[in-house]
C-alpha cells in the first residue's frame, strides 16, 4: 500500500498466484469529487473480498461515503451475513478462497431483493456472462474505479429506498 509524498494518490498492488497483478489507485482529486457529490444515498452493503487490504480500502471508502458496510472474506462468512441481515447490495470479488462470488450472489438473490456488483481482475466476456448468469447486475474490473463504483451504487439506491446521507 502506497500513499505518494504529496498525498495525491493512494495505490494498492496485489500479486496473484498466477503472476497477474491487481491494483487499486485512488487519486486525491477523485476522493474529493466523490465526497462532494450531491444526492448520495445510504445503502446496506455487503463487501465480499478475500484480500485484506483491498477489503479495508473498499469498506473504508464506502463507509466514508455514508453507506453501512459489512465485510466478509469468503463465501461461508458472506452467507452467514446474508442469513443474519438484510442488504441493499453486494460488492463481491468473483475469486474467493472457498468458492466463487457467483455462489454468493445466487444464494443472496434466493433470500433477499438486492443488487449485485461483481469485482474481478478479468473483464473478459466469459467472466461477465458467468457473473450475469449467476445474478450479478453490474460487473466492474479491477483496478477499481471508485467513481464508477459510486455511480453504480447511486443508480441502485432509489430501487432500495436508500436514505440521503
Domain boundaries, the chain: 36-160
Query: Cell digits for 6?
Result: 504529496
Contact 160, 89 (CB under 8 A): yes
124 or 106: which leads in pLDDT: 106
pTM: 0.75
User: What's the pLDDT at 1?
Assistant: 40
H-type helices in 7-89, by residue range? Answer: 28-35, 52-64, 75-84
* β-bridge pairing 9-15 and 2-3: antiparallel
Q: Please state which CATH number belongs to domain 36-160.
A: 3.40.50.2300
- Those residues with Cβ within 8 angstroms of residue 114's Cβ, 6 or more apart along the chain or in another chain: 87, 88, 89, 90, 108, 160
Per-residue pLDDT band at 38 (split at 50, 70, 90): very low
Cell 461461508 found at: 76
pLDDT above 90: percentage of residues in the chain: 49
Q: Does residue 72 register a pLDDT over 50?
A: yes
Region of residue 116 (phi > 0: left; psi between -120 and 50: alpha; otherwise: beta): beta
- pLDDT tens readout for residues 41-67: 689 999 999 999 889 999 998 998 889
* pLDDT at residue 162 in the model: 52
Read off the pLDDT band of 2 (50, 70, 90).
very low
Amino acid at each position: 500500500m502506497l500513499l505518494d509524498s504529496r498525498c495525491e494518490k493512494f495505490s494498492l498492488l496485489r500479486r496473484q498466484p498466477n503472476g497477474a497483478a491487481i491494483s487499486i489507485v485512488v487519486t486525491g482529486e477523485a476522493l474529493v469529487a466523490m465526497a462532494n457529490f450531491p444526492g448520495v444515498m445510504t445503502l446496506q452493503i455487503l463487501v465480499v473480498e478475500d484480500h485484506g487490504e483491498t477489503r479495508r480500502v473498499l469498506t473504508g471508502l464506502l463507509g466514508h461515503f455514508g453507506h453501512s458496510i459489512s465485510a466478509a472474506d469468503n463465501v461461508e462468512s458472506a452467507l452467514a451475513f446474508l442469513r443474519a441481515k438484510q442488504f441493499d447490495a453486494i460488492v463481491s470479488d468473483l475469486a474467493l478462497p472457498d468458492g466463487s462470488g457467483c455462489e454468493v450472489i445466487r444464494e443472496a438473490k434466493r433470500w433477499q431483493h438486492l443488487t449485485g456488483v461483481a469485482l474481478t481482475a478479468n473483464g473478459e466476456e466469459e467472466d461477465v456472462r458467468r457473473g450475469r448468469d449467476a445474478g450479478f447486475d453490474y460487473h466492474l474490473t479491477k483496478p477499481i474505479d471508485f467513481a464508477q463504483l459510486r455511480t453504480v451504487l447511486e443508480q441502485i439506491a432509489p430501487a432500495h429506498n436508500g436514505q440521503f446521507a
